[in-house]
Amino acid sequence: MFPVRCALLAATFGWWTVLPASDSLHWAFQPPVRGMPPRVRQAGWVRNPVDAFILHRLEEDSLSPSATANPATLIRRVALDLTGLPPTVEDLEAFLQDPRPDAYERAVDRMLASPHFGERWGRHWLDAARYADSNGYSIDAPRSLWPWRDWVVAALNRDQPYAEFLTDQLAGDLLENATREQQVATGFHRNTQINEEGGIDPEQFRIESVLDRVNTTGTVFLGLTVACAQCHDHKFDPLSQREYFQLYAFFNNQDEPSLEAASPEQFAARDAVGAMTRPLEGRLQARAAELAPGFESWESTLTPATRESLPLEVRNVLGLRPEHRTARQRETALQGYYATDDGYRRLRDQLRDARQSAPVIPTTLVLQERAEPRSSVVFIKGDFTRPGDPVQPGTPAVLPPLTADGDFAPNRLDLARWIADPEHPLTARVLVNRVWQQLFGRGLVETENDFGIQGAPPSHPELLDWLATEFSGTGSAATPTPGSLKRLIRLLVTSATYRQSSDVPDAATAPDPLNRLLGRQSRLRLEGEVIRDVALAASGQLDRRLGGPPVFPPQPDGVMAMGQSRREWKTSEGGDRFRRGLYTFRWRATPHPALTVFDGPDAFSACTRRLKSNTPLQSLTLLNDAAFLELAEGLAERVLREAPEATRLNAAFLWTLGRPPESAETARLQQLLDAERQAGDERMAWITVARVLLNLDETITRE
Whole-number Å distance between alpha carbons of 417 and 438: 26
Whole-number Å distance between alpha carbons of 396 and 79: 41
Give 8's pLDDT tier (boundaries 50, 70, 90). Answer: very low
Q: Residue 696 class from Cβ within 10 Å (0-12 exposed, 13-18 middle, 19+ buried)?
A: middle
Model's pTM, two decimal places?
A: 0.91
Residue from 133, 17, 179 nearest 548 by CA: 133
pLDDT higher than 80, residue 546 = yes
Q: Which of 156-160, 472-476, 527-531 has the lowest mean pLDDT?
A: 472-476
pLDDT higher than 60, residue 13 = no
Contacts of 95 (CB under 8 A, 6+ apart): 71, 75, 87, 103, 104, 107
Whole-number Å distance between alpha carbons of 148 and 181: 9
Whole-number Å distance between alpha carbons of 487 and 481: 8
Give 15's pLDDT tier (boundaries 50, 70, 90). Answer: very low
pLDDT higher than 90, residue 18 = no
Give 565's pLDDT tier (boundaries 50, 70, 90). Answer: confident
Task: Report the 10 Å Cβ neighbour count for 578.
Answer: 23
Across 75-87, average pLDDT: 98
Give 46's pLDDT tier (boundaries 50, 70, 90). Answer: very high
Q: For every residue of 611-629, which 3-state class applies, written as one string? A: CCCCCHHHHHHHHHCHHHH
Residue 364 φ/ψ, nearest 5 degrees: -145, 160
Residue from 179, 187, 180, 361 nearest 262 by CA: 361
Indicate the residue type of 592. Answer: H
Note the Cα 593 to chain centre separation in Å: 18
Residue 666 φ/ψ, nearest 5 degrees: -60, -45
Dihedral of the alpha carbons of 658, 664, 668, 673, in degrees to the nearest 10: 60
Angle between helices 427-440 and 116-128 in degrees, nearest 10: 120
pLDDT higher than 50, residue 118 = yes
Residue from 476, 398, 469, 396 nearest 431 by CA: 469
Q: How many CA atoms lie within 13 A of 86 on its CB side?
A: 32
Dihedral of the alpha carbons of 544, 546, 548, 551, in degrees to the nearest 10: 30
Whole-number Å distance between alpha carbons of 477 and 471: 9
pLDDT confidence of residue 476? 63
pLDDT higher than 50, residue 535 = yes
pLDDT confidence of residue 204? 97
pLDDT confidence of residue 11? 33
pLDDT confidence of residue 480? 79
Whole-number Å distance between alpha carbons of 588 and 570: 17
pLDDT confidence of residue 220? 98
CB-based contact 166:416 (threshold 8 Å): yes
pLDDT confidence of residue 426? 98
Across 381-390, average pLDDT: 97
For 255-290, write each residue's pLDDT tens digit.
999 999 988 899 999 999 999 999 999 999 999 999
Helix intervals (H) in 625-662: 626-642, 648-657
pLDDT confidence of residue 12? 32
Angstrom CA distances, 157 to 88, 112, 118, 180, 685, stand at 21, 8, 5, 18, 42
